[in-house]
Chains A and B, each alone.
Chain A
Amino acid sequence: MTVSQLATRVLAETPATWTEPEPMTWLEVVGIYVGIPVGLFVLISVLAVAGSWTRGASSRSELALRSAPQWFGAQPTEGEAGTRPSEGDDDTGEEKGGVGARW
């Protein structure tokens, strides 16, 4: 055996002063090889979707909040709209119809 081969074998062996590490538990193995990739996947997905959610909602809500109320068609008579029916009102007090919804 040549001197170089002997030196290589000596350098390849772990030093005697190193302690032998304890074997990993199955929980640690699953956590590292499954948990970290899954966690990263979930985190990136949430960041990608949440950005569009907040941007869209805030821009729409902000515009709606900043906009003054708008009327189309017939409008209430002078005075604060909705405070009291105007004179000559022909609403006999019968129950109003209609429907409510949200989106």
Chain B
Amino acid sequence: MPAGDLFAGPQRHDIDDAVRAAERLSGLTFSVYVGGAEEEFRAYAERLHSSLPAPATSVLVVVDPAARLLEIVTGAEARRLISDEEARLAALAMQSAFAEGDLAGGIVTGVQQLAEHARRPETLHTTDTEA
């Protein structure tokens, strides 16, 4: 692991896998940003979210390990699938893992929980059949 990297190779792989699986499961766009902020944390997280390619359908998880801060930002469309209460539950799970020093595990857990909450229900008979 290169000096100064928060995550080892397998950890980065796990987080990438979790993000891709979450996108397949929910149909939303998931992003994770791990780093510091030079301004008020929520405002910074929302600014990052707004700079994403598709903010309305994006879920952004921002983690500042140095300041021990976590923000989950959901876009206008995404929040219809993931309520603030569900985001709070995911944040709680992440907090527990972070408190134990498991940064990568906490991120994976949080992303998985958010995706589960936003899971698209299976629909049957959605194609029109000709009479």
Contact = CB atoms under 8 A, between A and B. Distances in A.
Q: Do A and B bind each other?
A: yes
Interface of A: 60-61, 63-77, 79, 81-86, 89-92, 94-103
Interface in B46-83: 46-58, 64-76, 78-79, 82-83
Interface of B: 3-7, 12, 15-16, 19-20, 23, 29-36, 41-42, 44-58, 64-76, 78-79, 82-84, 87-88, 91-92, 94-95, 98-99, 101, 107
Given A70-B7, A72-B16, A74-B29, A99 B69 contact: no
A60 B46 CA distance: 26
15 contacts: A74-B30, A76-B52, A82-B50, A85-B55, A89-B54, A89-B55, A91-B50, A94-B56, A97-B75, A97-B84, A100-B69, A101-B71, A101-B95, A102-B68, A103-B68
A90 B32 CA distance: 20
Contacts, number: 159
Contact of A74 (B41, B47, B52, B82): B52
A86 B4 contact: no
Nearest to A61: B66
Given A84-B51, A97-B82, A69 B76 contact: no
A82 B99 CA distance: 28
B72 A99 contact: yes
A82 B69 contact: no
A74 B84 contact: no
Judged by DSSP, the binding face of A is loop
B34 to A, nearest CB: 5
Nearest to A88: B53
B76 A94 contact: yes
Contacts of B47: 82-83
A100 B51 contact: no
